Amino acid sequence: MPGALRQFAIQYPPLLERGMARALLRRFRAAPWGVGLVLLAPLVIAACSGDPYPQSTLHPTSDTGRAIDALYRQIFWWAVAVFVVVQTALIVTIIRFRNRPGAAEAKQIHGNTAVEIAWTLAPAAILVAIAIPTIKTIFQVAGDAPSGAVQIEVIGHQWWWEYRYPELGVVTANELHLPQGRPVALAISSADVIHSFWAPKLSGKRDAMPGRITRLVFTPDSVGTYLGQCAEFCGPSHANMRLRVMVDTPQAFDAWVAHQTAAPVAVDSAQAMILAGEAAFKKIRDPANHSCIVCHTMAGVSGGVAGPNLSHVGSRTTIASGLLPNDSAGVARWLRDPVAEKPGSLMPKIDLTDDEIAALVAYLQSRN
């Protein structure tokens, strides 16, 4: 095969002079492998997709997601129908009216009024057929939240997500918990630049803009963990601004809320290390005034709000917006050099000793 390709490349310029279409046809007839490659290409391309793909919109798991998916499928089949009709007409025209040796010169005509009216009205009818379900879906997904919906404030930060449940008294970060089968109403905004909240399997995108609230309402119908991320370029670590949506059974969600509103329980087996970590957490480091407590709040330990609330950080599965696993190695790696892990991170690198890092790891993981 490489030899045939090389020969084809050498003969390419003369082929242009004799007519590309005829030359390519002769080449395909002379090289059966070329035809095989063309036929095999769709199968190879199809094999590139996973099943199910973590952030695919083709496997919706909410009412809003299914409505959007149904609309896209309708538009897709309209597009297929138009493609088939146009390509069939094109192929028939090429074959029927092609130039033949000895044939008379084609007659020049002004046009065909009936055909021109038909190909003007047909697209208009198709656009109407697409517009009606589109408008219906827009009103469906942009409607008000029903009574009893879980109210959640989503705030985008560079580069992490903050979630507030005002009616439940819960504040958390990056991992959004939702109850299965119950409507949720997200009020989305930003603390700095424009972000975009997107969990593809659950619903469409909504921009998060400073000084403005955008809303997203849907009802998740399947228990599971669904990945998402910021879909609006927002700085050096835009690609690292990930999120996870955990859809729990109603009982599991109520248990999660109860756990989040209770005081964190420290692990007694390493009390000395935990106390050392709490001291390191509160320690102010001059002259830059760097300290964990300046930016983070911990239940029972008042602090700043520039960074994620860490009250129950030990119960989360990941840290740094899903960038690292929430285990001893992941937390230590993050504390050692946040900027190296997430370029442009607003959390500065603090010169922590190995003992301080070990103590902070024990303290943070005990807050579950």
Which run of H or of E encompasses 77? helix 63-96
CATH of 268-366, one of 2.40.50.140, 2.60.40.420, 2.102.10.10, 3.40.50.970: 2.60.40.420
Looking at residue 2, its pLDDT comes to 47
The SS3 assignment for 118 reads helix
pLDDT digits (tens, 9 = 90+) for 231-280: 999 999 999 999 999 999 999 999 999 999 887 765 555 578 788 878 88
Segment 65-72 mean pLDDT: 92
As its CATH architecture, domain 52-98+112-262 has: Sandwich (2.60)
User: Minimum mean pLDDT among 119-128, 261-270, 313-322: which range?
Assistant: 261-270
Q: Do domains 52-98+112-262 and 268-366 have the same CATH topology?
A: yes
Q: What sign has the CA pseudo-torsion 92, 94, 97, 101? A: negative
Rounded to 5°, the CA angle 184-186-189 comes to 175
Tokens of 355: 């003992």
Question: By C-alpha distance, which of 356, 361, 261 is closest to 312?
Answer: 261
Mean pLDDT of the chain: 83
The whole-angstrom separation of Cα 112 and Cα 59 is: 46
For the chain, give every domain's residue range.
1-48, 52-98+112-262, 268-366
Tell me, yes or no, if the pTM score tops 0.95: no
Looking at residue 22, its pLDDT comes to 60
Residue 15 has pLDDT above 70, yes or no: no
Looking at residue 36, its pLDDT comes to 63
The whole-angstrom separation of Cα 23 and Cα 7 is: 13
**Cβ neighbours of residue 249 under 8 Å, at least 6 residues apart?**
179, 180, 223
